[in-house]
Structure 1
Amino acid sequence: MHSPERIAEFTGSGAWTEETVQQLFADRVAEFGDELAVVDPPNKQELVGLASLRVSWNQLDRQVDELAAVLLDHGIGEGDVLAVQLPNIVELVIAYLAAWRVRAIISPLPVQYRRHEIVELGVIGEIDAFLTCDRIGARAVASEVVGMRAEIPTLREVLYFGTTDVDGATNVGSAIGALGVGASQAVAAYADAHPVDPNDCITICWTSGTESRPKGVPRAHYEWLVMSWDTVYSPGLTHESRVLNPFPMVNMAGINGMLLPWLRVGCVLVQHHPFDLTVFLRQVSEERITYTVAPPALLAMLLQNDRLLADSDISTLRQIGSGSAPLQTWMVQGWYDRYGISIINFFGSNEGLALMTDVKLMTDASQRASYFPRYGPTRHWTFPAAAHTTIKLIDPETGAEVDEPGRPGELYLYGPSLFAGYLDAANVPSPFDQDGFLRTGDLFVIDGPDNEFLRYVDRAKDLVIRGGMNIAPAELETMIATHPDVVEVAVVGYPDDLLGERVCAVVVPKDGSTVTLASVVRHLEAQQIASYKLPERLELRTSLPRNPVGKILKRQLRTEIKGQ
């Protein structure tokens, strides 16, 4: 994955070590044996037709060994790519650990993906095998994948969890039952004969592909494990923690936000899928959850609607992670004042973890809502990434480095969390500059009393340029979201012959409420923003379009609005 020079740089600094995910799991099994490890969502039977499980570390180890033996028996081992399409259930955790036990590369796919995405990613990723359930909800997924075999030339095996027979696919339960007595020893012998290198690729995750052809993001032990220190540190996870995971374990948020921190500290991981607020809050109460994650819109809604939390016991919650968007100060302050819960804002991507609020030093709610730490000489930050990561802001027009406050620049990032480069690199533009910095495509400004913070402006490609003036949708979205009748909002530009673009606000109103363009404009004028930023069009929706990992599809909104 990484060059000898890069390995020498980051092992020399202490950022990368010889640890591997396999060793972390083995250590946790040895430490915690019969203690509870993973809990299924309570609706698992309805979701995939399988009983809900509560498994200990020893039970998990045995089930990982069984699936690993099945994989080996079907010719899946070192360097093979195993695509996995499973919801957040215990079997998804088993799949990760079993693939890693036989040195395979796991490529997780959101359960929402259908033929178009599966075939496209299967061809790009050259997948060797596919693991799923016989059904997910009403979809007969295993049968569907069998039907795609002719379109994915490298696909050799389709395996599934479930209780039915699927022609052309292997039932994992039946395959386990047919294993001989020496299956576990065969797995151990295979592992011994194929030693792990922390530079080995262990996952291929996928970008959303909303703007272009999907891009595969391969990652090794090195990058995943150095990042996991930060997602342990920020929420203060320990063995005594109980974490609830509602995010699909298919990308940075689910893998580095939940799976790897769990593997580091050996706490209890409680799975949730699909998102259901009633079930989610019941799990927080019944499982005595101490840490979870949630999007900003949900956090704001819960704080504004006391009745939603009236029957829930959230007294064990200490931190909630949110991410990749400016947070509302009243919301961050409100969660702390009312419930003593700190909101942590994470900002990153599949390509590399970037920024997060330092809850130990950023004690003011307005700081945690609006700013991220600016790594550098102005202030010492306590979380691990700050010690190993270099950032700079680059003017997107001139290419010059930005060092004064208030001037937008694209965030460039360099450090041990960065991936080595996209899959199929010959057909994908490099995201790195000549010095090896990742060009994130995100605009920030230097801010704060001592220039010690970065403030998010927007995605560079999402800027609205009205009459030559740059308008950041994220800024307007944060302000419009405080409108008393607004649940969610997205701001996009639409074509104008005179000014080039004008601003459109796409709003989801609260149930029973009416939102008008005039009321939105009045709300913004009361906050004294520049008049050229005011929206000149309002579109109402019952929901905003999102991709399978929850990102708002602004391209789709722009296309819809342009066509009206």
Structure 2
Amino acid sequence: MSQLSTTRSRRRCHPADKVADHLARGLWRPETVTDLFASWVERRPDRTATTDPSNLGDLTGAAPRSLTWRELDDHVRQIAAVLFAHGIRTNDVVAVQVPNSVSLVATYLALWRLGAVATPMPTSYRRHELSGIVAATKAVAVVTVGRLGDREFAADALGLVGEHDGLRTVFAFGPHVPDGAVEIGDVPVPAEQAAEADARAAGLEHTVNDEITICWTSGTESAPKGIPRCHADWLAVGYGVQDAMETDEDSVLLNPFPLVNMAGFAAALLPWLIGGGHLVHHHPLDIGVYLAQIQQHRATHTITAPAILTMLLQNDKLRNTFDLSSLQRVGAGGAPLAPSVVAAWQNDHGIEVINFFGSNEGLCLLGAPNDIPDPELRAEHLPNYAAREKEWVAHLARHTEVKLVDPETGEIVTSTGGRGELRLKGPTVFAGYLEGTAASSPFDEDGFLCSGDVFELCGENGEYLRFVDRIKEIIIRGGMNIAPAEVEGLLQEHPAVAEVAVVGVPDEVLGEKCCAVVVPAEGANPTLEDLVEHLRRHDVASFKLPEQLRIVDTLPRNAVGKLLRRHIRTELLETER
């Protein structure tokens, strides 16, 4: 009888028959994320594995460092020992709010080593979001930092202890760890304590269906939705992206995207664990620091926003200040890519840009250079995996079903030039939202994930897809999703607001910004500063704060009273022309 035979059963994501089917057909691999990590520790113990942001000291006060695979393994085991000594056990959910760093990666690996589940959060989240996530997941602990910039992260988290049933511990990386929090990281661990944690980890049987993360997304509902994921579907995403990134043991991957959801995990963490190279962290985006890191570490791969690619191409002086010659491939997504920009990077600088399109729920389409060699074509198009007559490099093509559905008629779009909602079924798709965090299922009657994104069928034989628009009403600001209903609900409490709608307006750098469209209360004259201050009192993340205000007499609604945000946005843009 194993040491863990009396513990509660593991949290699983998918039904057992689906797991067996996917493994038998090769849709999933019989390995875990922790297996991958252990393999590199064994094969490359003394090679550099990961490096902190060069400005980490300015951010948190901690000295930046690089660790080999063996040193990273030691760091993971030390963190796991502290977690275990303070009660973290198999199936426990732990909220993690740590900036991109060696310690963030080590925290994830330590939790998974113990069979616990990480629920990652961007550092831009504040008490409002943290409280909601702790409540929804029944998290027993928070792992964070003592301080980040001028914010006291650990102290904020300690303020929630006692307000939520089950939340009992706040762990914090130093320096600046307040009283009441448990310091984690480079702290001595008694030998007996470390041995006990090692024994627990060694006795734990991992399966590919074990839940390891609960990430968060925002849709049309008023609160974020939880997205549980297991080893198998994360690695399906990772190997799919790897077909385009093509990292290996000699690769140096610089990551500026928060390691909290699909963007950071799929384009950075997983390609690093699959390829076995060197992961360099960056946080938050500082273009000078970012370019200096490319030069210093001779980065071969990175990911960035399309606006950054455009800006660097147009700014010869800035670009030529740094040696970027080591770069081979750059992943970009979250906003449309300009064909001329992608072509210039490839033809003039020898850097191939990969067109990524994904979602936390499991959409995973990517324009790999080997699939779409023409950079201008690749900038605007993604592969239609339903076009089976074409041989795609991406192995996901063989296991992914894709269809476009006319949102008005429900008919499947089959003619080139036709447009419809992208729906997808395959090994990258999650099993469903965390109970209690979504009002409806994201799947149609045939089990396809409904993306809420409209694409056009392109190419001579419908072999490509071109993004057109979103059915969903989320605002995407700098890669971060904002649910209008959430912000509206808080603004509606302001005494000067009678009605409010929050919509996205175009922005050249961030993609979109929030605009609050307000019908004032009688006799009131609300200002943008009033509304922002009101939201700040609710500890709302800064990226959700409205940056424009429009005062109107009425807001358009449908027959049942639902806001017609698309109409509002259209009218808003027309008045600005």
Cα distance in 2, alignment partners of residues 556 and 105 from structure 1: 40
Of 417, 425, 430, the residue aligned with 2:428 is: 417
1:353 paired residue number: 363
Show the 5 A alignment for 1:379-418.
379-418=390-429
Q: What is the match of residue 346 of structure 2?
A: 336
Cα distance change, pair 202–217 in 1 and its aligned pair in 2 (3 A)? same
Query: Structure 2 vs 1, CA of residues 3 and 409 (structure 1 numbering), >3 Å: closer, same or farther?
Result: same
Say yes or no: does 1:364 pair with 2:374: yes
Are residues 1:300 and 2:317 paired? no
Q: Do 1:110 and 1:548's aligned partners in 2 also have CA atoms closer than 8 Å?
A: no
Q: After the TM superposition, which of the residue ranges 333-342 and 374-383 deviates more from structure 2?
A: 374-383
2:18 to 6, 27, 42: 6
Of residues 110, 114, 122, the one that matches 1:102 is: 114
TM-score, length of structure 2 as denominator length = 0.80
Q: Distance in 2 between matches of 1:308 and 1:379?
A: 41
Q: Which runs of at least 4 in structure 1 moved beyond 4 Å after TM superposition?
A: 503-510, 547-564
Give the letter aligned to residue 271 of structure 1: H
Q: Secondary structure at the match of 1:321?
A: strand
Q: Deviations over 1:208-266 (max 9, x none)?
A: 35752110000001100111112222021110000000000000111121111111121
Amino acid across the alignment from 2:205: P
Give yes or no for contact 2:305–2:334 (8 Å, CA) kept in 1: no
Matches within 5 A, 1:184-199: 184-199=194-209
What is the CA–CA distance in structure 1 between the aligned matches of 2:380 and 2:68, rounded to whole Å?
40
Q: CA deviation at 1:407?
A: 1.7
Conserved? CA contact 1:442–1:458, under 8 Å:
yes
Q: SS of the residue aligned with 1:369?
A: helix
Residues 62-102 of structure 1, C-alpha deviations (whole Å, 9 max, x = no match): 11000000111011021001111111111101101111111
Q: Which residue is 1:172 aligned to?
A: 184
The equivalent of 2:290 in structure 1 is: 280
**TM-score normalised to the size of structure 1?**
0.82
- The sequence identity of aligned pairs, in percent, is 42
Aligned-partner SS, 1:15 = coil
Q: Which residue in 1 is equivalent to 2:78?
A: 66
More moved, 64-73 vs 144-153: 144-153
* CA root-mean-square deviation: 2.8
Within 5 Å, give how 1:259-270 maps onto structure 2: 259-270=269-280
Aligned to 1:22: 34
The Cα of 1:165 is off from its aligned counterpart by 4.6
SS in 2 for 1:45: helix
Runs (5+) with no aligned partner, structure 2: 1-12, 477-483, 485-502, 511-539, 551-564
Pair 1:208 & 2:226 matched: no
SS at match of 1:402: coil
CA distance in 1, matches of 2:544, 2:30: 35
1:439 to 433, 436, 450: 450
> SS at the partner of 2:214?
strand
Q: What is the CA distance between 1:398 and its match in structure 2? A: 1.1
DSSP 3-state at the match of 1:219: strand
1:126 is the counterpart of 2:100: no
CA distance in structure 2 between the partners assigned to 1:427 and 1:322 by the alignment? 29
Q: Is the 8 A contact 2:146 2:176 kept in 1?
A: yes
1:300–1:3 CA distance, 2 compared to 1 (3 A): same
Aligned counterparts of 2:547 and 2:24: Cα–Cα separation in 1: 42
Work out the CA distance in 2 between the residues paired with 1:214 and 1:115: 14
What is the alpha-carbon distance in structure 2 between the residues aligned to residue 440 and residue 201 of structure 1? 23
The residue aligned with 2:498 is none
Matched with 1:91 is 103
Q: Distance in 2 between matches of 1:91 and 1:312?
A: 28
The size of the alignment, in residue pairs, is 490
On the 8 A contact 2:220/2:473 being kept in 1, the answer is no
Please tell me the residue identity of whatever aligns with 1:188.
D
2:3 match: none
For 1:56, give the aligned amino acid: T
Paired position in structure 1 for 2:467: 456
Paired residue secondary structure (1:182): helix
* Cα distance in 1, alignment partners of residues 185 and 276 from structure 2: 27
Q: 1:173 to 1:395 in 2, by over 3 A?
A: closer
Q: Give the conservation status (yes or no) of the 8 Å contact 1:422–1:428.
A: no
1:166: how far off?
1.4
Give the residue type in structure 2 aligned to 1:318.
Q
In structure 2, how many angstroms separate the alpha carbons of the residues matched to 1:102 and 1:509? 41
Q: Which has the higher contact order (CA 8 A, sep 6+)?
A: 2
Cα distance in 2 for partners of 1:237, 1:553 equals: 39
1:160 and 2:136 correspond: no
Is the 1:446–1:452 Cα contact (8 Å) retained in structure 2?
Answer: yes
Report SS of the residue matched to 1:280.
helix
SS in 2 for 1:19: coil
**3-state DSSP class of the match of 2:245?**
coil
- Residues in 1 aligned to 2:406 and 2:545: alpha-carbon distance in whole angstroms: 26
User: Secondary structure of 1:154's partner?
Assistant: coil
CA change 1:54–1:370 in 2 (3 A) is: same
Tell me if 1:228 matches 2:238.
yes
Instruction: State the shift of 1:187 in Å.
Output: 2.2
> Mean Cα displacement is larger for which, 393-402 or 554-563?
554-563
User: In the aligned structure 2, how far is the partner of 1:241 from the partner of 1:63?
Assistant: 22
